[in-house]
Each structure stands twice: as C-alpha cells, then as structure tokens.
Amino acid sequence: MALTGLDIFKLTPKKNCKDCGFPTCLAFSMKVATGAVEIGKCPHMSSEAIEKLSEATAPLMKTLTVGKGETEYKLGGETVMFRHEKTFVNRNRFAVLLSDCMDDAEIDTKIQHMKDVDYVRIGEDMKVEFAALKYAGNKDKFIALVKKVKDSGLKVAYILICEDVAVAKEALELVKAENPIVYGANKDNYKEMVELVKADNLALGVKADNLEALYGLVEEIQKLGYKNLILDPASTSIKEAFENTVQIRRMNIQGQDRTFGYPSILFVDTLAKGDKFMEIALSTLFTMKYGSIIVLSDIDYARALPLYGIRQNIFTDPQKPMRVEPGLYGVNNPDENSPLICTVDFALTYFIVSGEVERSKMPVWMAIPDAGGYSVLTSWAAGKFTASSIAKFIKESGVEEKVKSRKLILPGKVAVLKGDLEENLPGWEIIVGTTEAMFIPKFLKELAGK
C-alpha cells in the first residue's frame, strides 16, 4: 500500500535543519510521498528507516538510462495512465531492425534511410534513436553486422536482440561502451543473461510466452537482484499485443504493482507482417499506449512524419504551449527586398502561417518575437505581443540589416497596433495583414502586384 506523507514523517529525524532543501521535515515527507523526491535526500535518516521507506516510496515505474553521450535516452518513469491527468515523462523512441538474415544491399539501404530522416521540429530532434540488431542464426554475419553499424557513422544507441548468451556476449564486447540494451532474457537463459549484463548494469529485455509467464519471469529476475529491465508484452497477435501492453501499464500504475514497473519494447515490424501501412498504424497506436521503444522494419520521411508528429503531441506537457524559437525565419528564399510578416511564437500559429506563406510561393521573412507561446489574440490580451515588444525585437534581433524593404505585415487581428508601431518603427511601412491564415497567399500576391 502507498505510504502517506504522515507515514513518512513519523520516520524522519524531525530536525527541521533544511539540509534536504525543504523548510521542514513535514514538507520533505509530503514531497517524498508524491514520488518527487527520494528519501535518501535527507542525510540524517537512519539506515533502517531508509531501508523501510525506499522500496515503498520508489517510483512506480523505473526510469532507465540507455545509450551514451549524444545518444543517451531515458525510458519509462511514467506516473499516469493518461496524458491529461498530468503529463507523460519520457517519450517513446523509435528503432529500425537490422538482421544477419538480410543481405548487404538491404542493410545499406536501411542504414541510409536512418541517416536521411534527421530533422528538427519545434526544437526537437526527429530521428531514429536505436538500431535494433537481431541475431537470426549466422554468428559471423551478426558480428559483422554489429561492426558495420558501429562503423557506419549512424548516431544511434544499440539494442542487441539475441537469446544465445554466447553470441550476445561476443557482440556485446563491440558495443558495451555505448550502454546498449541487451534483449532476450527468457525462462531458459535468464540467469546467464543477468550475469552477462549486471557488471555494466545494462538494460535487459525480457520476453515470455504470455503475460502470466512474463510476470513470473520478472519476479525470478528481481530475486537475482536485477531491476534494470525492459518488458516485451508477450504476444503473437496485434490484439494480444495491445491488451498485454495496456494491462502491464494498468497493473503497474493503477494496481501499484512494481513487478511490471518497467519500460516496454514493441516489435511492430513483426506484428505488421510486412504491411508497411499497418506498421505505421501500429506505431502510432503504441506511441499512445504504451510502447517505450517501437521497433520498425524501416524508416523514410513518409513513415517518419506522422510518427514523430504524434509523438511530439503526446509527449509534451498539455499545460505548456509548444513554442518555436523566437527569431527571423526565411520562407521561399527571401532577399532584402522581401516583406516581413510578423506573428507569434505559438507553434500552431507559426506552422499555420508559415505553411500558408510557403503555399503562396512568395519570398517572405517571418519575424517571431517572444510572445509567451500564446496565440495572437491571447498574447496581445496578456500584454506579450505589443507594438513595443515587436519594435524591440525588430531593432535588437538584426532584422533591419537583413530586411531593407521596410514593409512589416501585422496579423489582421491586431490591426489596432498599427499606429503605435508606426511611432515605434520610423521608416517602416506597417501593413495590416489578413485575419485568417488561409487568405495569406492571395494577400501576398496582391502586395507584390501579381
């Protein structure tokens, strides 16, 4: 049963010394009860109390850190079933499967595809984060595959998919320093697999024939003292995969059962049985519920755009608006004679406006001042999108060096700013633009006399 703040308070030394960063022991206890702070932050807690409390106050789902350096990712650590309850914490990651049963041409193509998909959207890197390297029976080819991917220049973390402990050991030597995931602990090999990974505390993928067997296997592995696990929600069909994945999360979060308190890995490449459209549909499904790593057969822009788009929506805090970085952006290769269109840094507004500007095929500069991440009218009403803030941005961000046309287009909904802007920006022609983005192409063409 979960401990309350008062349960924890009874065990604190009650010094109120603030060494934990909280003003009182009670405040600290309340925070520990929510799972936001670890009990060990109090240096005066007795070892018996820490032992008693640390298990009970541990987060329901473990957070695993895998990969290294610029390919280091956190998995798991979720606290709620639904995004709207609070927020999801660690976004799922995408992997592409490569195997020793593929020929060199196929492997090269997939590696190139993985390299190709690499773009930034609203400040987030959109790329394949993992190479899932699968042993399909040819040891020499598998080892060669691991070397090939390592030498390919791909910036990815690794998942070694291999249930043969001896082969996994050999492959692991090549990528051990990269903190990979080793997938393939089953009922027959789990002791050897734990032995293989525990010295380096690597994440261990666990699989079983069904959910009950998976639960039992996790218990056995935990008895060995190993808790750095990733669960494969045992399944032979899409229906079963979905049921099991949701059931694992329910037992963990709602049932407060830490045996299933680990991130998951979903092999949608296998579930989709070669249907690439089904593969994307399943990947979006498991992005929402509740895959931590989703393994695809391949990637390209057509596959990536919907996947990364939905991931970005799901794994952002619903309380905080998504923002683009304030700055000057060029659309359709503008030069110094192109007009300047101003809008806010709320991502949805930016993408709607920039999309319409792109559609117009007219070269335009876009000025995006810091408007607090709100829409045009909201930021204007909040005093964050004003004549003085726009003028300050234009004067201080170097816009005047790049834009000699001195034509500034305002959103039609804040036409009221025109007079003040003319005062704040002498030499600029302030033009009131459209009230709706869809009229922008026609407006820009007319402005250019076309």
Question: Among the candidate windows 8-16, 142-150, 184-192, 246-254, which touches ligand SF4 by CB under 6 A?
Answer: 8-16
Shortest gap between Cβ of 166 and ligand SF4 (angstroms)?
49
Q: To which residue do tokens 């192109």 refer?
A: 338
Q: Is residue 442 at the binding interface for ligand SF4, with CB under 6 A as the rule?
A: no
Shortest gap between Cβ of 27 and ligand SF4 (angstroms)?
8
Q: Which residues pair with 133 in a beta bridge?
A: 98, 160
Taking the least distance from each CB to ligand SF4, the nearer of 26 and 101 is 26
Q: To which residue do tokens 């005093």 refer?
A: 383
For helices 440-447 and 347-360, what crossing angle results, to 10°? Answer: 50
State the DSSP code for 287. H
Q: Is 20 assigned a ligand-binding role in the annotation? A: yes
Q: Is residue 36 at the binding interface for ligand SF4, with CB under 6 A as the rule?
A: no
Question: Among the candidate windows 20-28, 105-113, 211-219, 273-281, which touches ligand SF4 by CB under 6 A?
Answer: 20-28
Q: Is residue 33 at the binding interface for ligand SF4, with CB under 6 A as the rule?
A: no
Taking the least distance from each CB to ligand SF4, the nearer of 15 and 147 is 15
Gap between the Cα atoms of 14 and 43, Å rounded: 12
Q: Is 42 assigned a ligand-binding role in the annotation? A: yes
Interacting residue with ligand SF4 among 3, 8, 11, 25 (CB under 6 A): 25
C-alpha angle with apex 75: 72 to 79, nearest 5 degrees?
145
Interacting residue with ligand SF4 among 5, 7, 16, 163 (CB under 6 A): 16
Q: How many residues bind ligand SF4 (CB under 6 A)?
A: 13
Largest CA distance in the chain: 80
State the DSSP code for 346. B
Task: For CA atoms 231, 178, 224, 162, give the dihedral sign.
Answer: positive
Phi/psi class of residue 149: alpha, beta or left (left: φ > 0; alpha: ψ in -120 to 50)? alpha
Asked if 344 and 376 count as a contact pair (C-beta separation under 8 A), the reply is: yes
Write out the binding residues for ligand SF4, residues 155-184 only, by CB under 6 A. Answer: none
Gap between the Cα atoms of 112 and 435, Å rounded: 44
Q: Is 432 assigned a ligand-binding role in the annotation? A: no
Interacting residue with ligand SF4 among 2, 13, 55, 317 (CB under 6 A): 13
Write out the binding residues for ligand SF4, residues 37-66 only, by CB under 6 A. Answer: 42, 44
> Residue numbers of the site for ligand SF4 (CB under 6 A)?
12-13, 15-20, 22, 25, 28, 42, 44
